[in-house]
A and B are shown apart, each in its own frame.
Chain A
């Protein structure tokens, strides 16, 4: 169950409290996030919407341990990540977070197989075990036949599915998707969204997704809007009425 009221549900997988993020641009401080609270349960599928510069990607970066908040705390499965050293945060990301980017961000000189294998190179798995995991991940995304193709030999939708396979291959605690369909046509976008929904429904994955596309956002269990300092929960599938929950003073900027 997703909550943004700062009270939080017992046993939330992801818990953010009082998150502030301020950027300095020249002599000016830009407050992007102020006092944001968020609770996400295991198996939730949350979409973040909002205009450009509303702080969606910043929030995703903070939750994924790519950036650190100016103030506030983030806990994931009981691990407080906010004060981890850079090195520990890197290790934590490798174990807990799967990233899916708008531009796929595959390594062009590696095959689909090699791209998906990358996160496993950081584990102690043997070559044979890595191969088995990679083949399973590529099978799940429906690209078992294309594992030896290079990104340039794949369509945009296929590239994004390889990126999804890379994100899930190490069985992370949750997935962060930054505009996963932003660079795809409608048909490919639908295929990718079907896949993400299947990861939630069949494999119990927790997914946090940023999108501009209402049709895409509608497929999440919960949609949160970030705009003008307000974090709004809208359209929870269970029919909850849109509720305005304060704490997220979101200013323009990044």
Chain B
């Protein structure tokens, strides 16, 4: 601790340089946190899904529908507890940029299959009785400033509904049991949807979500469902919700690789910039380091000084993580509907601090080693 004053004084020697170097760290760490959070958000699907849920879609693709009649047939398979169906509505509120996910749901089984999405009983009962009712996720309610009781027009370009906005009454709000649960969805009644679309679509749904009693039965049940509709006009593909979520993320490309690549480039650049700054800083005070060694500071102490400076810069740069802690929730609020919820977790922050320390160490070690090896008489000759 008695050397900390010396380290601090050296850091403050060139304030503009210090601010710029710490700023580089802060920007890089902010970006690190943002990339980490986005990566988490895209991969969270696989983490938060339930082990006892399966998803059945049209074998061709999720945008192709499957018959509503499958529901009761699937329900008869041993081990299946509940079946619910969803259909993508694909609408916007007032303006195309006001996008958020709307699902036509099966109210009868929704809460049994998705118990983690919590709706107060009184609101749910109101919704069941209201053909034009809607249940909206808390973050979408907040995004648009809606209140329970509001009447909301939603326009979709799908299902031949281009020319008319459907109106919905907000009967309730759902919250997630966990912070990472998606609370951007808008649920509307199957019956209202069915009445509004052409007859050819009235017996078709987007996909089924199936709750099973025992996760160990998942392969058997999935196989049974898909075998049941083999060679039919609507063949199915059934997989665990986890596999479905991973497949969904893959539609966006290899996001993890993309984020890893960007992160690597950012930190490698930061390493070069900080390493160069530290090298210049050491070279500028070669003579002073020679004096310190002359009066008895050991080679190792000099090494620790230089490393201490680079690590201190790295730690100061962690202000970028604090900035992320403040800014990302705000960004998440603004981007609600376009991106899954963005959550800055303790794990992301811890990785950020660790990454900062690694770069701080790596950028300081070569100049520090050079200073350690420097011969006193040579250092004292430098003016």
Contact = CB atoms under 8 A, between A and B. Distances in A.
A107 B288 contact: yes
A95 to B, nearest CB: 8
A67 B380 contact: no
A90 B13 contact: no
A140 interface: no
Contacts of A103: 383
Contacts of A107: 6, 9, 288, 291-292
B94 interface: no
Given A90-B293, A110-B6, A66 B299 contact: no
* Interface majority SS (helix, strand, loop, mixed), chain A: helix
Interface stretch (A115-123, A189-197, A233-241): A115-123
A91 interface: yes
Given A66-B377, A105-B287, A110 B9 contact: yes
B201 interface: no
Contacts of A91: 296, 298
Contact of B295 (A87, A99, A114): A99
Contacts of A22: none
Nearest to B8: A109
A94 interface: yes
Contacts of B295: 93-94, 99, 118-119, 166
A61 to B, nearest CB: 5
Contacts of A108: 13
Nearest to B300: A87
A174 interface: no
Contact of B9 (A64, A66, A90, A114): A114
A87 B12 contact: no
A198 B13 CA distance: 35
* Interface majority SS (helix, strand, loop, mixed), chain B: helix
A122 B3 CA distance: 10
A45 interface: no
B204 interface: no
B117 interface: no
Nearest to A178: B380
A93 B10 contact: no
A48 interface: no
Contacts, number: 64
B159 interface: no
A96 to B, nearest CB: 9
B377 A61 contact: yes
A79 to B, nearest CB: 15
Nearest to B9: A109
B72 to A, nearest CB: 81
Nearest to B13: A109
Given A61-B377, A67-B377, A87-B299, A109 B10 contact: yes
Most buried by A among B292, B296, B297, B383: B296
B8 to A, nearest CB: 9
Interface string A70-91: 0000000000000000110011
A90 B380 contact: no
A95 B292 CA distance: 14
Contacts of B299: 86-87, 90
Interface in B1-42: 2-3, 5-6, 9-10, 12-13
B294 interface: yes
A93 B9 contact: no
Contacts of A114: 5-6, 9
A94 B376 CA distance: 14
Contacts of A119: 295-296
B377 to A, nearest CB: 5
A73 B362 CA distance: 41
A93 B296 contact: yes
Contacts of B375: 67
Interface string B262-289: 0000000000000000000000000110
A108 to B, nearest CB: 8
Contacts of B287: 105
B3 A121 contact: yes
Nearest to B287: A105
Interface in A159-216: 166
A109 B383 CA distance: 16
A138 B273 CA distance: 41
Contacts of A118: 6, 292, 295, 297
A122 to B, nearest CB: 5
Contacts of B13: 108-109
Given A67-B377, A94-B295, A99-B295, A105 B5 contact: no
Nearest to B11: A109
Top-9 shortest CB links A-B: A94-B296, A109-B9, A105-B291, A66-B376, A67-B377, A109-B13, A90-B298, A119-B295, A122-B296
Given A67-B375, A86-B299, A118-B295, 11 more contacts: A67-B376, A90-B297, A91-B298, A95-B296, A101-B380, A105-B380, A110-B6, A118-B297, A119-B295, A121-B2, A166-B295
Interface of B: 2-3, 5-6, 9-10, 12-13, 287-288, 291-299, 375-377, 380, 383
